[in-house]
Amino acid sequence: MDNENKKVQHLTEEQIAVYAEALATDNSANLPDDVKRHVKECLECSNEIQSVSEILREKYKNSIAEGLNSINKRNKINLTLWLGVAASIAFIAALGYFFTKSNGVPENNLMAVDSTIFNSKTIVSNKIINQDTINNEIIIDSEIKKESIVNSTKKNEILIAFVPNKELEKLSERYKDNAMRGEEKIITTSEVKSYNTSDSINISLNKSDNQYLTVEVFDNKGTKITQLTTKENSVELNDINEEGLYYWKLINEDYDLLYCGKIIIKD
């Protein structure tokens, strides 16, 4: 009887929004089971989710560039990772405290603790970056699925190929005034280069030393298309024949990113 009188707890607007985004991107893996059960049974909530996701689809059809990839990144880094980070930092801090309290601690022990902290921070930040990359891949993947449903005509496909990639745009923006690392300006190519599909792409470098440099080319979805390593002062790329917006990265032997530029191929 009590159960009958108990008021049904519907989803909040934010939960509806989260579920609608999951439905629109066909990605429901991380949704909690109890709420999924509620959605299966509840007419009101499932209808609201469906309505919101329909509006989302409509919205994206008109402005694909906006995409879902601007969803707050902080939500993408999972909670366990943060807990792990907090626990390791606390543990390391406790260790450091213990060592500094002890008498006659050799200096290099303190240095060892310092270096442990540094290393663990590096690992943590790398993990966060990896997590971000994975999440970006998931979002990109689901966007591709979504886009393939919505835009089936060739015209739209070409249009999609020119949608800027948010992350790579940011990166290329940082290298707008040419060299970032070191004093010398390695790149003599303009930051945005335009070609026809029949052209071969030439990137000019201004190297003073003999080291190898790697050029990686990405499409606007962030997928690596090709990679070339050179010792010369220029690189010629022949693998890119389709119209679209591409990005290229220049990386040195120490895996430092030296430059990020854009290539536009349009007939």
Partner 1 sequence: MQVTEELTIKDTLITDYELLDLANRIVSRFIANRYIPKREREDVQMAIIEKFLINKSRIINRFQGKSKASTYCIAVLNRMCLEIIRKEIKHWNLSEGKHKEIREDCVLNSEENLIIKDEIRLLKDIIALFYDEKEKIVLFLAYYYQLNVNNDDINNYCLGECDNNFYELFTINDKESKATIFANLTIAVNKIENKNLKNDATRIWLNKIINTIISKLNYPLNRANYTKESLQILFEYYYNEKEH
Residues that bind partner 1 in the complex, under the rule CB under 8 A: 12-21, 23, 26, 28, 31, 36, 39-41, 43-44, 46-56, 58-59, 68, 70-72, 74-75
* Closer residue to partner 1, CB minimum distance, 36 or 185: 36
* Closer residue to partner 1, CB minimum distance, 72 or 102: 72
* Closer residue to partner 1, CB minimum distance, 59 or 224: 59
266 to each of 26, 161, 162, how far by Cα in Å? 32, 10, 10
In this structure, are residues 238 and 223 in contact, taking their beta carbons and an 8 Å threshold?
A: no
Structure tokens at 172: 């290329």
Closest CA to 60 of 20, 4, 118: 20
CA atoms within 13 A on the CB side of 141: 9
Closest CA to 116 of 93, 87, 97, 100: 93
Minimum distance from residue 65 beta carbon to partner 1 (Å): 14
* Closer residue to partner 1, CB minimum distance, 17 or 179: 17
Minimum distance from residue 74 beta carbon to partner 1 (Å): 7
* Closer residue to partner 1, CB minimum distance, 6 or 40: 40
Amino acid occupying residue 107:
E
Minimum distance from residue 8 beta carbon to partner 1 (Å): 14
Q: How many CB atoms lie within 10 A of CB 40?
A: 9
Minimum distance from residue 86 beta carbon to partner 1 (Å): 19
DSSP bridge pairs for 248:
217, 261
Minimum distance from residue 237 beta carbon to partner 1 (Å): 36
